[in-house]
């Protein structure tokens, strides 16, 4: 079996070596999930009510979506779909691994953006904190 190695002409930071680039969007989604529910509990218990909760959820959602869009764009570029796409990614080469991780990261970014929107959706229905 051939080992995947970096070549001098590979683009830094060698994104094909780590899955952290691939799972960054779901991490943002999970932090948004925990943060929104913690903020809602705190704002209802301490800071006054549903208006503060809605504002915090809106700000957190905008920040999370912006970050996921950046992560998704970088994954799309790593996937290299439009320039050099081939259907087969079964060879143990740097290019195939890079494109696979980019494709998976892009799909996870889409799912994460949908998840962030679903987490924020109940903010439209907050009538009171009771």
User: What pLDDT score was predicted for residue 18?
Assistant: 72
Q: For the purposes of burial, counting CB atoms within 10 Å of the CB of 45, is it exposed (0-12), middle (13-18) or buried (19 or more)? A: exposed
pLDDT per residue over 43-54, tens digit each?
888 877 888 899
pLDDT per residue over 15-54, tens digit each?
556 788 889 999 999 999 999 999 998 988 887 788 889 9
pLDDT per residue over 86-128, tens digit each?
666 666 777 777 788 888 899 999 999 999 999 999 888 888 8
The domain locations on the chain are 16-125
User: What pLDDT score was predicted for residue 83?
Assistant: 66
User: What pLDDT score was predicted for residue 91?
Assistant: 67
Measured from the Cβ of residue 58, the count of other Cβ atoms closer than 10 Å reads 12
Nearest to 109 by CA among 20, 24, 14, 16: 24
Q: Is the separation of the CB atoms in 114 and 72 below 8 Å?
A: no
């Amino acid at each position: 079996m051939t080992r995947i190695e970096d070549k001098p002409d590979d683009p830094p930071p060698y994104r094909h070596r780590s899955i952290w680039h691939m799972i960054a969007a779901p991490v943002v989604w999970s932090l948004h999930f925990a943060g929104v529910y913690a903020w809602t509990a705190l704002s209802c218990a301490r800071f006054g009510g549903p208006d503060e909760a809605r504002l915090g959820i809106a700000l957190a959602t905008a920040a999370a979506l912006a970050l996921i869009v950046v992560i998704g764009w970088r994954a799309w570029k790593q996937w290299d779909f439009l320039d050099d796409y081939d259907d087969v990614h079964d060879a143990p080469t740097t290019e195939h691994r890079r494109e696979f991780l980019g494709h998976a990261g892009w799909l996870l970014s889409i799912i994460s953006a949908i998840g962030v929107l679903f987490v924020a959706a109940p903010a439209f229905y907050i009538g009171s904190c009771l």
